[in-house]
């Protein structure tokens, strides 16, 4: 008596056959998902490193510009408070696959960026502070760090794009189903339009 193959089994066998036929054309790709995932995680670590570098510079900057007039001290307060909020955010273990947590992190860092930019703009009104060696050294470090943050974010975004594309396109989608069912798409940053160009930070104290 002939065996009756269920519709579900037939579909599974057909899918397996398609995968076998596609493998030579796809160059296998079985290791792409974990490879791209590790690349994205490494890029994320660099993003965190650059933000930490900036956070570490801010206290010295605030100390250097304490000579502001009383009516402009709010810019100092804004920077201190924005830094506190950014550093106090608890980063959950699943932030890379948690869009809400990623947005909270990004919003806090963006607020600090805005406060820091306003502070450095106000310094323009104080030649004595602006020309001081301590301030100039800190300004140079912050400019460099802002550029590195921009580059690190873009590298992370690109790594996540490659990883997410692999999860959602063939043959990566097949490998996810069979080999990496726990893999999830990663959250990414929203890059402002003015940062799409080659990163450059200049707070206005350098000659044109």
**CB of 116 within 8 A of CB of 145?**
no
Among 115-119, 120-124, 202-206, which stretch is predicted with the lowest mean pLDDT? 202-206
Number of neighbours of residue 182 by Cβ within 10 angstroms: 5
21 band by pLDDT with thresholds 50, 70 and 90: low
Neighbouring CB atoms inside 10 A of 198's CB total 8
Q: Can you give the pLDDT at residue 202?
A: 46
Across 98-113, b (16+ Cβ under 10 Å) vs e yields beebbebbeebbebbb
Residue bearing the bigger pLDDT, 96 or 199: 96
Contact 60, 173 (CB under 8 A): no
Q: What angle do CA 135, 155, 166 make, to 5 degrees?
A: 165
Q: H-helix or E-strand containing 152?
A: helix 133-168
Coil, helix or strand for 116?
Answer: helix
CA angle, 173 then 153 then 109, to 5°: 120
**String of DSSP letters for 43-95:** HHHHHHHHHHHHHHHHHHHHHHTTTS-GGGTHHHHHHHHHHHHHHH----TTG
- Report pLDDT for 29: 79
* Mean pLDDT for the chain overall: 84
- Give mean pLDDT, residues 171-182: 91
> Residues 33-78: pLDDT tens digits?
999 999 999 999 999 999 999 999 999 999 988 877 777 888 999 9
- Of residues 1 and 170, which shows the higher confidence score? 170
Q: Please give the Cα distance from 26 to 2 (Å, whole number).
A: 36
Model-level pTM greater than 0.75? yes
CA 107/CA 99 separation, integer angstroms: 12
Q: What does the pLDDT average to over 131-144?
A: 91
């Amino acid at each position: 008596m002939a065996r009756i193959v269920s519709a579900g089994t037939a579909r599974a066998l057909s899918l397996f056959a398609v995968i076998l036929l596609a493998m030579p054309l796809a160059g296998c790709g079985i290791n792409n998902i974990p490879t791209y995932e590790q690349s994205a995680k490494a890029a994320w670590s660099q993003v965190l490193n650059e933000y930490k570098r900036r956070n570490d510079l801010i206290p010295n900057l605030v100390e250097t510009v304490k000579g502001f007039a009383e009516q402009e001290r709010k810019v100092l307060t804004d920077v201190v408070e924005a830094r506190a909020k950014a550093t106090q955010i608890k980063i959950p273990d699943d932030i890379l696959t948690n869009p809400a947590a990623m947005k909270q992190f990004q919003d806090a860092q963006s607020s600090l960026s805005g406060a820091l930019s306003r502070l450095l703009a106000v310094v323009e009104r104080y030649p004595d502070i602006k020309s001081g060696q301590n301030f100039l050294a800190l300004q140079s470090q912050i400019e460099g760090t802002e550029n590195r943050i921009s580059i690190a974010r873009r590298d992370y975004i690109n790594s996540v794009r490659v990883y997410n594309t692999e999860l959602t396109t063939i043959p990566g989608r097949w490998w996810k189903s069979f080999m990496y069912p726990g893999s999830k798409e990663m959250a990414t940053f929203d890059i402002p339009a003015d940062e799409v160009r080659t990163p450059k930070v200049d707070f206005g104290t350098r000659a044109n």
